[in-house]
């Protein structure tokens, strides 16, 4: 009979074996690539000593193509739960030292199990990704495993926050689980996401492309919009993850974590009153307004480098978390294009799913003109913004800082998409279009006939400005609820969101709508 000492030694030996993953050689190769192991990453992310591993011995049951010799306890992922800044999270870290972190039936079983536990306990799910993609040797079992995970990511969407941290190659099917999650954090240099790699692209299309250009952190942060954040290294990726979590509720029935307010709710920053240049063709940085209005240093921009003509992010107002959406006059005059539409619609839906109130700042000349945009489906993409705002029942407050022209007026959180309160600064211009364009359309014949065209134009412009050059026409008709000084915005928003905190709203009964995707 085995005695207690021997049983203990046996278990400790097995635990040590687990820490070796795919073996010392594979760990050295991982380190040589500038990457940490799955367990080192978990230690780097979670509160010290909080990690509780789940299914550490679960391994694959396949033997074809030499898999018998590659059977490691735990297979190619480390899973479990723990805490980040004292709050519960579930975590799955792919282990590249075991067959390249390839996605196996066993990996799927383990990841699905912790994701199920996360949904059941209302806990955010964090995936640390580093994988070559589907385990080729397992054929359909690997594909079935992926499908099970994708199904769960979809079911969990809107119930718990799901965050993907990209820490290595993520090839083939490995990108679709991150693609289904709420936030993707990519790490410069070591992380790449692609459906088909450079080899396949060269064979099929003849195109020569390197990994970074194809699917590196910057490509996905600036061009494709797949990545919401870029980290310089693994440490920064975990710091971003922790900061992001600090703004998120653990699930869709809990509130986002509130901090004791450390900033005067009535703080009126006088610089705001001269921030917007009176000349509508001159720009300013909307992030400057945001920084001055919300709690000091609390603004956490999301998707910062993708579609910079729009700004989205999380911040705190008197200690409470809010989602911010804004046009950015400092880039392309804040025009709405396809990418900005996708960026805004997605963020609005995230905030609504987790009951985070939305504050929208509007300074937008309208939708981007041009064949590229029309052929790219600006109609379909722009419609997503209206859809997202119209569907959102979370408290919504809007501030028109300058231009709210045409379609932009409607889609950017107007009263008509059921925004609870719309404020306008004295610099607001709410009209079908800008004065120049409007005068050209309305008075073309009179301008052609005028003896002094320039003087006539000035007169028509002045008439138009008188009517639509300020916020008061919209305020008189109730399309704007009040005209406020920019420096009063913080106090007004604190009061509005305090009043709206327990807002109740019901939707019509239906299975689901048909968002214009």
> Mind telling me the catalytic residues?
172-173, 407-408
SS3 label, residue 504: coil
- Rounded to whole angstroms, the Cα distance separating 128 from 150 reads 16
Contact 430, 468 (CB under 8 A): yes
Provide the token pair at 121: 């306990």
Residue 180 has what DSSP assignment? H
How near is the Cβ of 217 to ligand HXC at its closest, in Å?
16
Is residue 134 near ligand HXC by the rule CB under 6 A?
A: yes
Looking at beta carbons only, is 74 or 173 nearer to ligand HXC?
A: 173
Interaction of residue 141 with ligand HXC, rule CB under 6 A = no
The answer to whether 60 and 67 are in contact (CB under 8 A) is yes
Tokens of 76: 């190619």
Q: Can you tell me which of 135, 303, 381, 396 binds ligand HXC, judged by CB under 6 A?
A: 135
Residue 368 gets which letter from DSSP? P
Mask 280-319, x = binds ligand HXC (CB under 6 A)?
A: ----------------------------------------
Catalogue the long-range contacts made by 438-443 (C-beta closer than 8 Å, 24 or more residues apart).
438/464, 438/468, 439/464
User: Can you spell out the DSSP letters for 463-501?
Assistant: HHHHHHSSSHHHHHTTSSSEE--GGGHHHHHHHHHHHHT
Which residue's structure tokens are 């046009």?
327
Near ligand HXC by CB under 6 A: residue from 42, 115, 165, 171? 171
Q: Which of 176, 284, 299, 472 binds ligand HXC (CB under 6 A)?
A: 176
- Binding of residue 348 to ligand HXC (CB under 6 A): no
Alpha-carbon gap, residue 339 to 501, rounded angstroms: 31
Which range in 78-86, 97-105, 151-159, 476-484 contacts ligand HXC by CB under 6 A?
97-105
- 9 in helix, strand or coil? helix
365 near ligand HXC, rule: CB under 6 A: no
CB of 151 to ligand HXC, least distance (A): 12
* Distance in Å, CB of 111 to ligand HXC, minimum: 15
Q: Report, in Å, the least distance between residue 211 CB and ligand HXC.
A: 7
| # residues near ligand HXC by CB under 6 A | 16
**Across the strands, what pairs with 312?**
302, 325
145 binds ligand HXC (CB under 6 A): no
| Phi, psi (rounded to 5 degrees) for 81 | -140, 165
* Closer residue to ligand HXC in complex, CB, 195/433: 195
In the chain, what are the helix, strand and coil shares in percent, each to the nearest 5? 45, 20, 35
Does residue 133 interact with ligand HXC by CB under 6 A? yes
136 sits near ligand HXC (criterion: CB under 6 A): yes
For ligand HXC, the closer CB: 72 or 464 = 72
- 432 near ligand HXC (CB under 6 A): no
Asked if 111 touches ligand HXC (CB under 6 A), the answer is: no
Q: Which of 56, 82, 100, 486 binds ligand HXC (CB under 6 A)?
A: 100
- What DSSP letter does each residue of 375-420 carry, written as one string? HHTHHHHHHHHHHHHHH--S-EEEEEEEEEEHHHHHHTT-GGGT-S
**Shortest distance in whole angstroms from residue 320 CB to ligand HXC:** 39
Q: What does the DSSP assignment read for 96-119? A: TTTGGG-B-HHHHHHHHHHHHHHH
When asked if residue 178 is in the footprint of ligand HXC (CB under 6 A), the reply is no
CA distance 340 to 367: 10
Mark the segment that binds ligand HXC (CB under 6 A) among 35-43, 126-134, 269-277, 477-485.
Answer: 126-134
Q: Is 191 in the site for ligand HXC (CB under 6 A)?
A: no
The one among 37, 102, 153, 419 contacting ligand HXC by CB under 6 A: 102
CB of 221 to ligand HXC, least distance (A): 20
> Is residue 132 within the footprint of ligand HXC (CB under 6 A)?
yes
Q: Establish if 197 lies at the interface with ligand HXC (CB under 6 A).
A: yes
| Paired sense of beta strands 183-187 and 192-194, if any | unpaired
> Under the criterion CB under 6 A, does residue 99 sit at the interface with ligand HXC?
yes
Helix, strand or coil for residue 268? Answer: coil
12 near ligand HXC (CB under 6 A): no
Alpha-carbon span 165 to 93, nearest angstrom? 9
Q: Interface with ligand HXC by CB under 6 A: which range of 164-172, 249-257, 275-283, 469-477?
A: 164-172
Q: Mark the segment that binds ligand HXC (CB under 6 A) among 165-173, 276-284, 350-358, 406-414.
A: 165-173
Which residues lie near ligand HXC (CB under 6 A)?
99-100, 102, 132-136, 143, 146, 169, 171-173, 176, 197
């Amino acid at each position: 009979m085995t005695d207690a000492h021997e049983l203990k030694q046996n278990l400790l030996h097995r635990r040590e074996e687990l820490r070796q993953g795919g073996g010392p050689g594979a760990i050295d190769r991982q380190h040589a690539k500038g990457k940490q192991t799955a367990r080192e990453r978990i230690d780097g992310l979670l509160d010290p000593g909080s990690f509780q591993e789940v299914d550490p011995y679960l391994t694959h049951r396949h033997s074809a193509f030499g898999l018998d010799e590659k059977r490691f306890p735990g297979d190619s992922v480390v899973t479990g739960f723990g805490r980040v800044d004292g709050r519960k999270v579930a975590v799955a870290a792919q282990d590249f030292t075991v067959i390249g972190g390839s996605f196996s039936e066993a990996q799927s079983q383990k990841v699905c199990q912790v994701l199920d536990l996360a949904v059941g306990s209302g806990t955010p799910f964090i995936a640390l990704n580093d994988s070559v993609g589907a385990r080729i040797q397992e054929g359909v079992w690997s594909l079935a495993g992926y499908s099970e995970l994708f199904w769960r990511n979809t079911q969990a969407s809107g119930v718990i926050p799901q965050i993907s941290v990209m820490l290595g190659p993520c090839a083939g099917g490995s990108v679709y689980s991150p693609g289904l999650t709420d936030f993707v954090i990519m790490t410069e240099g070591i992380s790449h996401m692609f459906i088909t790699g450079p080899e396949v692209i060269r064979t099929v299309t003849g195109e020569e492309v390197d990994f970074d250009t194809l699917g590196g952190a910057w490509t996905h942060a600036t061009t494709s919009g797949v990545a919401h954040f870029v980290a310089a290294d693994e440490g920064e990726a975990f710091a971003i993850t922790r900061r992001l979590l600090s703004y998120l509720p653990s699930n869709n029935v809990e509130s986002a974590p509130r901090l004791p307010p450390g900033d005067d709710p009535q703080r009126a920053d006088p610089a705001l009153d001269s921030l917007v240049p009176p000349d509508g063709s001159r720009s300013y940085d909307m992030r400057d307004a945001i920084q001055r209005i919300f709690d000091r240093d609390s603004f956490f921009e999301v998707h910062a480098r993708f579609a910079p003509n729009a700004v989205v992010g999380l911040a705190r107002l008197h200690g409470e978390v809010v989602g911010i959406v804004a046009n950015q006059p400092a880039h392309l005059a804040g025009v709405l294009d396809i990418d900005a539409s996708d960026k805004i619609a997605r963020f609005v839906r995230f905030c609504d799913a987790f009951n985070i109130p939305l504050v929208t700042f509007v300074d937008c000349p309208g939708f981007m003109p041009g064949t590229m945009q029309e052929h790219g489906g600006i109609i379909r993409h722009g419609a997503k913004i209206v859809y997202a705002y119209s569907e959102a029942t979370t408290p919504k407050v809007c501030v028109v800082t300058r231009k709210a022209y045409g379609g932009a007026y409607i889609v950017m959180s107007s009263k008509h998409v059921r925004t609870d309160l719309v404020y306008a600064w004295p610099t607001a211009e709410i009209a079908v279009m800008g004065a120049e364009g409007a005068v050209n359309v309305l008075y073309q014949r009179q301008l052609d006939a005028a003896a002094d065209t320039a003087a006539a134009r000035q007169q028509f412009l002045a008439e138009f400005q008188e009517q639509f050059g300020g916020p008061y026409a919209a305020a008189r008709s109730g399309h704007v609820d009040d005209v406020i000084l920019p420096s009063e915005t913080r106090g007004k928003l604190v009061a509005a969101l305090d009043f709206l905190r327990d807002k109740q709203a019901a939707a019509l009964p239906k299975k689901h709508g048909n968002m214009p995707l």
